[in-house]
Chain A
Amino acid sequence: MTALSRRSFLAGTATAAALAAMGGTLAGCSSGDGKVHLELFQFKSEAIALFDQICADFNAANPDIVVTQNFQADNITSLRARLVKGDIPDLITINGDYNYGALADTGIFYDFNRTDLLDGVNPSIASILDTLGTGGQGQTNGVAFADNGSGIIYNRDVFDSAGVAPPTTWDELIEICDELTAQGIDPFYWAIKDNWTGAPAFSSLSGSFLTDGVAAWYDQRRDLDSGTSFAELTPVFKKMHQAVQYGNADKAALGYNDGNQGFAQGKAAMYWHGTYAIPAIRSYNPDINLGTFATPADNAADTKVVSGVDVALTMGESPTHLEENLRFFKYLMDEANVTAYCAEQVAYPTLTTLSAQDPALEGLQPYFDAGRVATYSDHNFPPAITLNAYMQQYLFNGDLDQLITTLDTQWDKVVRRINETA
């Protein structure tokens, strides 16, 4: 054994450090069992168990493939980190919002029009993803798997005991509010301490108000020389403010979870949120008897349901295991799996052959069947515009002029900035 000299010790540590640095890059996905290993990048914490089950069933039926679920709560941030490293997951579930559009615009996702996966999907829903962003003209970069609908949730028992029925026009809604107030019932339950809770009302109102299409109006607004202003949405803002007056006194102090809890305890008749809130409300009161109706327009014929793709499936633009990926997606889009997911998560199936089974979802289903859906207004705002914050400010102080001026200046500024550095 040689005595440890300083020089040999230093050489030894240098070698060890170099090896450690290389070790990080040696972890690949090559495992010697001859199977194709796929990673399912999944973001819905409520659905982990279900996706594990689906993966297990699929792996059993396809002995040559092993799909493993990788749950990531803050999926957009971690997906971006993976993209920086050029390490795009094989199979991705993603929420169809502005971030999806921004990612799709960079052309990193596959074009599913080249596959038959979209064949059974309701076209008015499939096209919502295209309005958010595409990697190129005529592409569809995601497959809509499950949908949410945004209207107004109501407590059927409170409605029955007060003797009112879901409205079909805005004026009827206000009549109902007055009626409920006269009976000492809070018409709406608001919880606007969390600033985004005003956004569902804004989105569902503008979905019915912008009859030429929500995305079309925002396209025009993005053209800064078109002279379009948010003043055109004044009726939408006014209705929001009108509805907030019909609410609980402690609305400014409550956050979203407090709102779910209070509404579950029957503290008000209506709750202005999308269907995503239903599982949360039921978690506080499993026996609550919920219903939904579309946010009524002035004219019943204009009423639309605002819908977003709650879960979209996508993959990289040139995946390593294309055939295996498509086989898994095909399996996932199977009626049985879509039904199982939608029943568990209280979501709307995207396949034309299916409809929602949950009694709380009945009210909006006819709109999906008739293709009367609009995209979320707030998905059109670049995140640098803190729309939710301005909405919250407006609901607190009711200063319409300030809101319109703020939205116009911020929109112009951010869009100009995006164009400048595009």
Chain B
Amino acid sequence: MTTQTATAPRASDPQAAPRTIPDNQAKKVDPAFIWMLLPAALVFTVLLTIPLLTGIFYTFTNFKGYGDWHFVGLTNYKNLFTDDIIWGSYLFTFKYAIVASILTNIIALGLALVLNSKMKARSFFRGVFFVPYILPVLVVSYIFSYLFTNNLPQIGQALGWEWLSTSLLANEDLAWLAIVVVGVWQSVAYNTIIYLAGLQTVPEEIYEASAIDGAGPVRRLWSMTLPLIIPYLGINMVLSFKGFLGVFDQIVALTSGGPGTATQSISYLIFKNGFQGGEYAYQTANGVIYFLIVVALSFAQLRFTQSQERV
């Protein structure tokens, strides 16, 4: 692997030396750029910003999604904070997201290290491990639902394990673990790809240097590889955590929020009670809070991982 470093500055026209512009004078922008930006800005505003603001507006009303409405002030928000169903869904979602993100990243990093090593049929295995990401979540979930309902209990009975001899999905305390398994199985593939991309950026020379210094493989992983791919770890953590916070498809296919209300995630609750339960405004308020939490957490995570970068 050779790295080309362009040391000499590009030959540039000496006439085109940058003119300094006084601070009090705005830089003139070529109108062409504005015309290029305009459609994107327009589409973004019409399809995202306006609906978001409309939704926020309706959280201060008793709107059912149709018919008459009137303002109710902050009643929806006040009720949100005293609603144990909402709290329960937040608790479940965070528990799920934390456990699933950690598991996903550990497994994905391990896989990426294996797939990055010099082995036979490397491309073939990379392809195989990417397959789960291509399959639709619903299809995967229905297949897993079948396995959890029919095959796993048989294995559990054969082993004589009480907790596995009935369907995990019908078990109030363990159903969330079944959803974690499906979520992790599905999302490992994508994170593995990002880690592989990260590992490509680690130059070979530092390994040679550390080998001369007598570092073993574990030391090399801990002191060389990991610090160098911290940005990728950060991105992966943020992306997978955000993704898991929005868990929806798996729940529809596996448990519909059950048994009881044990696996109602935030997005499932917003969908179910907002659209089918006629609580449009109330659940939109829930959506607003949820949005703010996701934004705050993503920023916090990014700041944290950026502070760990030392290259």
Measured CB to CB, the residues of A under 8 A from B are 10, 76-77, 80, 83-84, 99, 102, 106, 108, 193-195, 252-253, 382-384, 386, 389-390, 392-393, 396-397, 409-410, 413, 417, 420-422
Contact = CB atoms under 8 A, between A and B. Distances in A.
Contact of A108 (B67, B76, B170): B67
A252 to B, nearest CB: 4
Interface string B143-161: 0000001100100000000
A77 B170 contact: no
Contacts of B85: 386, 410
B267 interface: no
Give the secondary structure class of A's interface: helix
Contact of B35 (A10, A410, A420): A10
Interface string B72-83: 100110010011
Contacts of A390: 260-261
Contacts of B166: 252-253
A383 B67 contact: no
Given A252-B166, A253-B166, A421-B76, A106 B68 contact: yes
Contact of A393 (B72, B256, B259, B276): B259
A76 B67 CA distance: 14
B172 interface: yes
B186 to A, nearest CB: 22
Contact of B72 (A77, A413, A421): A421
A83 B278 CA distance: 13
B261 A389 contact: yes
Contact of A382 (B67, B79, B277): B277
22 contacts: A76-B276, A77-B276, A80-B65, A108-B67, A193-B169, A252-B167, A253-B167, A253-B170, A383-B273, A383-B276, A384-B278, A386-B257, A386-B264, A389-B259, A390-B261, A392-B259, A396-B170, A396-B260, A409-B84, A413-B83, A421-B75, A421-B282
B94 to A, nearest CB: 20
B67 A83 contact: yes
Contacts of A108: 67
B281 interface: yes
A389 B277 contact: no
B246 interface: no
B149 A389 contact: no
B66 A80 contact: yes
A413 B85 CA distance: 10
A417 B79 contact: yes
Nearest to A422: B62
Contacts of A382: 277-278
B57 interface: no
Give the secondary structure class of B's interface: loop
Contacts of B264: 386
Given A10-B35, A253-B170, A397-B172, A83 B258 contact: no
B59 to A, nearest CB: 11
B167 A383 contact: no
Contacts of B172: 393, 396-397
Contacts of A410: 85
Contact of A106 (B67, B75, B82, B258): B67
Contacts of B249: none
B277 A84 contact: no
Contacts of A396: 170, 172, 259-260
B163 interface: no
A421 B149 contact: no
B292 to A, nearest CB: 22
A82 B166 CA distance: 44
A5 to B, nearest CB: 13
Contacts of B68: 106
Nearest to B257: A389
B122 to A, nearest CB: 41
A108 B67 CA distance: 8
A84 B261 contact: no
Contacts of B75: 420-421
A421 B279 CA distance: 10
Given A106-B66, A420-B75, 19 more contacts: A84-B65, A102-B64, A106-B67, A193-B167, A253-B167, A384-B279, A386-B257, A386-B261, A390-B260, A393-B258, A393-B260, A393-B261, A396-B260, A413-B82, A413-B83, A421-B75, A421-B76, A421-B281, A422-B62
